[in-house]
A and B are shown apart, each in its own frame.
Chain A
Amino acid sequence: MTTLDYSDIGKVIPRVLREDETTPTVFTEPQPPIKLDRRQFLKLTGLVGGGLMLSFAPLRKVRAQDGTVFSPNVFVKIDAEGILLYAPNPEIGQGVKTSLPMMLAEELDVAWEDVRVVQAPIDRAYGGQFAGGSMSTPTSWEPLRTAGATARHMLVEAAAQKWQVSADTLSTQNSMVKHASSNREISYRELAADAAKIAVPSRESIKFKDPKQYRLLGKRITGVDNDAIVRGKPLFGIDQMLPGLKYAVYQKCPAIGGTVKSANLDEVKKMPGVLQAGVLEGTGNAMEVLPGVFIIADSTWAAFQAKRALKVEWDENNASKDSWSETVTQASKLVEQAGNRTVDTGDVDAAFAANERQAEGYYKYFFVSHAPLEPQNCTAMFKDGELELWAPTQTPTWGMGPAARAAGIDQSKVKLNQLRCGGGFGRRLYNDFMCEAAAIAKNYPGVPVKLQWTREDDISYDLFRGGGFHKLRGCVDEQGKVVGWHNRHATITGDQGIGSGQFPMGMVDNLRVEHTGIDWKHRCAAWRAPGSNVFGFVLMSFLHELAHAGGRDHRDVLLELLGEERLMNRGGMHTGRAAACVKLATEKAGWTNKKEGRGLGVAFYYSHAGHIAEVAEVSVGDVEGTVTNRQGKSVQKRSLKVHKVTVAADVGPIINLSGAENQVQGSVVDGLSTMVDLAITFENGRVQETNFDKYRMLRMGETPEVEVHFINTGEHSPTGLGEPAFPPLAPAVGNAIFDACGYRVRTLPISEEGFYLV
């Protein structure tokens, strides 16, 4: 039936966002993020040329720009009734709907209680509106402070004119302008109409606060949506209601790439509540719409029931035959052969010949799924040649082009409403669900349709974190210094393997990396801290193996490897910041004063501009017999208790202390959950674990205590925290297990080696 070719499905996957890429910030999505230089930014935000922002897209209480509203840029709006701040980027649980407006509020010098925060509309004037790569904080820091400081400057000028005094004699605090010598004060709201008449000053004339004067940044501020969340108000994509809303499901081939031969559509259409059913050929792009059958019904439940009764005959000629068990066998051979030599510095062979103290380890990690708790969904309405979308997405602007293509219209005919995401973790960087909703709505015009994926859909059609295999060899000299490192690894096709910025590049004189690609059809893409989330485990575990081979303390070897203080050539890792984290985390965790019966393990990783060290304190139970793992092997069963994880993080100054701590604690929990028992396997092209009964995440009782310390030297700008606290956790725990019982875990998840959490 289909004429489109899905045989190359595994090769169209976009490169993932990795901090070790030599070019910055690359998603090869259709529309790259708008990276504005300052001049462009000023232009777009109306900060040059004077006057109010013309492309300002107002929300709710639409008010004519009649001069009573002070809105010097798209982020700030003040009138006699209140102060509105616009949160530009998608909220996916990383806290930016609170932290980004805090940047504005600090420089605007408003009392936080006076502020109402709303999600900004999708508009190029806001710059790159996306949530990915822990980029929201660093990319917003200058623009938002500038926007806030500019507005403050204009309010002061308005007061100066009103009182006929010099602006230098005025100060601001808590949404008020004050004239100390005459004991006068006036609120921003009262000044709004006058401020609207002030010309927007040049960037050069704007002064930022001295960080010592901060009243808001670095404090604990609770989330702006907390009240709505605890009341159960509609917030998330899945909550979107519209008059006449209908409910859709979409069934794709369980072996990805399969096309529809036939389906029992007549039978399905007769089921209660079913309004329409049909076949979509797909767009030929695996990131947009894959072939399948859609069903539209008058309720979600009716649609789910119809999906269960749906019988599709698939043409699987070009479909996935992916098999994890075969891949495991294949990879064990691949790592014995030379691969593509991507890094080769010094003389590795000579180093191994000259140094007898060596270690070798074969590491592997399974696939995992993003599994955000809100399954993918999107509401779409196609009417009169135009498409409106209500979407929980991390990349609203990048989804609009593909969604337009899926609906067969020009992107200018698409309007997108950004909604809160019930978790992201990288899954919602990709807008296949949005494209499907667009294509389905096109087939049911004039009516709003909410596409709802089941949990089984969400896991089966995820864009996974791929599995991988590493054979590592290393050697140390007579002093136990790491002098040789050889990492031969095989990962799925499309992944580039370890990049030139990953640890310990530039720190070991003789270093070789070889990579081999494994053909794979299921889609793989960015998963929280891409690359680092697995390389961190492999590399920082193996470093511990080498420290042990040299008979030395792991912390000492790690600090020695970091060496003198310097900025590494590629990426922004600074060895001094790294060492400070390692020292602080080990000191706070009692590295030299270990409790009886406990194991301590340390790991450091630099990712997404964050320097983070973690120390895990664990105890391991005695062997309790054997258990059969996913690979059918009998392994010794042992309990693992992670008592505490101590984290030292340098991400520059902290914006919101409450949110930042939450991100670190959550990353530790996610790291532990993922390393212990999460695995996706494939047989005959089909995902074997499709719901939470088989994909078992950590629960409350297994959660360790997490102690968080932030380092801020005052020399750096703030960077993001959605990702970098994830990578050090697994190696820290693995190293602690070795310290506790002498057993080296080399497989993720470690349930493959018999460990279970208590």
Chain B
Amino acid sequence: MKVSVNNTTHDLTGIDPSTPLLWVLRDHLNLVGTKFGCGISQCGACTVLIDDTAVKSCIYPISAVGDKDVTTIEGLASDEEELTPLQQAWVDVDVAQCGYCQAGQIMATEALLRENPNPTDADINTALAGHLCRCGTYLRVREAVKVAAKHRS
């Protein structure tokens, strides 16, 4: 079994195909930016893109990825490159408190902005409704989404 993550193909021979994508990313591929929060698709901390769709990787078996492309938070900008406008917006708006949920929020926003470059507040609320921020940074998350939308257009 092979899977493409952030434009790199990984051989996953020997890994239980029912393993959720989250744990393959974290334990086997050392991509720990994608977070474990609940394990039942309630908090959104584990969100990644499969092609252009945001999915909760904690309940998504690795066998279901097939030949689609997985993008994680580490795949948005490589270390050497500048941040993407989306990431830069998160930095500039100073969204994070603990920061634990933010990778999931950012990946869900990436999916939103690919589909809807100019989202309204209501669009943002809907797109991010599946994402908990225990620190309560929702106002800044929404602001950062708008700043990112502006910079991408």
Contact = CB atoms under 8 A, between A and B. Distances in A.
A333 B77 CA distance: 62
A300 B100 contact: no
Given A231-B73, A232-B72, A700 B99 contact: no
A700 B124 contact: yes
A699 interface: yes
B152 to A, nearest CB: 15
A666 B27 contact: no
A425 B74 CA distance: 28
Contacts of B102: 229-230
A227 B83 contact: yes
B54 interface: no
B36 A238 contact: yes
Given A226-B96, A692-B42, A93 B27 contact: no
Interface in A206-233: 220, 222-223, 225-227, 229-233
A703 B138 contact: yes
B55 interface: no
A199 interface: no
A700 B131 contact: yes
Nearest to A659: B94
Interface string B98-109: 111111001000
Contacts of B103: 229-230, 232
Interface in A639-696: 658-659, 662-663, 665-670, 673, 691-693
A700 B26 contact: no
A94 B92 CA distance: 18
Interface in B53-90: 72-74, 76-77, 79, 83, 87-88, 90
Chain A CB within 10 Å — which of B124, B136, B140 has the most? B136
Contact of A300 (B23, B77, B132, B134): B23
Interface stretch (A162-170, A322-330, A372-380, A467-475): A372-380
Given A229-B102, A238-B32, A691-B38, A665 B136 contact: yes
Contacts, number: 193
A231 B81 CA distance: 11
A230 B90 contact: yes
Contact of B125 (A663, A665, A670, A700): A700
B99 A225 contact: yes
Given A667-B136, A700-B142, A229 B43 contact: no
A699 B26 CA distance: 26
B30 interface: yes
A270 to B, nearest CB: 15
A699 B132 contact: yes
Given A300-B27, A669-B136, A93 B97 contact: yes
Interface string A719-757: 000000000000000000000000000000000000000
Contacts of B72: 232
A234 B32 contact: yes
Contacts of A94: 97
A709 to B, nearest CB: 16
Nearest to A230: B87
A232 B43 contact: no
Interface in B25-40: 26-28, 30-40
B19 interface: yes
Contacts of A703: 136, 138-139
B51 interface: no
B7 interface: no
Contacts of B99: 93, 223, 225-226, 229, 235-236, 420, 422
A697 interface: yes
B43 A692 contact: yes
Given A299-B27, A691-B40, A373 B101 contact: yes
A272 B94 CA distance: 44
A698 B31 CA distance: 29
Interface residues of A, number: 66
Nearest to A299: B27
Given A238-B35, A423-B98, A701-B126, A662 B134 contact: no
A730 to B, nearest CB: 14
A381 B87 CA distance: 35
A226 B100 contact: no
Given A247-B27, A666-B136, A691-B38, A222 B128 contact: no
Contacts of A670: 134-136
Contacts of A227: 83, 91
A239 B100 contact: no
A420 B141 CA distance: 21
A530 interface: no
A91 B39 CA distance: 25
B137 interface: yes
A500 interface: no
Contacts of B141: 700
B138 A669 contact: yes
B32 A422 contact: no
Contact of A422 (B100, B124, B140): B100
Contacts of B96: 93, 223, 225-226, 229
Contacts of A232: 31-34, 72-74, 103
Contacts of B90: 226, 229-230
A558 interface: no
B139 A665 contact: yes
A334 interface: no
Contacts of A455: 37-40
Contact of A241 (B20, B30, B74, B142): B30
Chain B CB within 10 Å — which of A222, A225, A229, A691 has the most? A229
Contacts of A263: none
Given A231-B74, A235-B99, A373 B134 contact: yes
Chain A CB within 10 Å — which of B88, B134, B137, B141 has the most? B134
Interface in A370-400: 371-375
Contact of B91 (A222, A299, A667, A697): A222
A92 interface: yes
A421 interface: yes
Contact of B135 (A231, A299, A666): A666
A602 B25 CA distance: 48
Chain A CB within 10 Å — which of B20, B27, B42 has the most? B27
A673 B134 CA distance: 9
A502 to B, nearest CB: 25
A231 B84 CA distance: 10
A422 B35 contact: yes
A667 B33 CA distance: 26
Contacts of A663: 97
Interface string B9-27: 0000000100110010011
A240 B90 CA distance: 24
B136 A700 contact: no
Contacts of B122: 701
B16 A673 contact: no
A454 B138 contact: no
B134 A299 contact: no
Contacts of A422: 35, 98-100
A95 interface: yes
B33 A423 contact: no
Chain B CB within 10 Å — which of A230, A232, A233, A422 has the most? A230
A549 interface: no
Nearest to A370: B134
17 contacts: A91-B98, A92-B98, A223-B94, A231-B83, A236-B35, A299-B28, A300-B27, A301-B27, A373-B133, A374-B100, A422-B100, A423-B135, A669-B138, A692-B37, A699-B132, A701-B126, A703-B138
Given A665-B136, A700-B129, 9 more contacts: A227-B83, A232-B74, A233-B33, A238-B35, A241-B32, A299-B19, A374-B37, A665-B140, A697-B134
The 7 closest A-B pairs by CB, nearest first: A232-B33, A669-B136, A93-B98, A422-B100, A232-B73, A666-B136, A701-B125
Interface of B: 16, 19-20, 23, 26-28, 30-40, 42-43, 45, 72-74, 76-77, 79, 83, 87-88, 90-92, 94, 96-103, 106, 122, 124-126, 128-129, 131-142
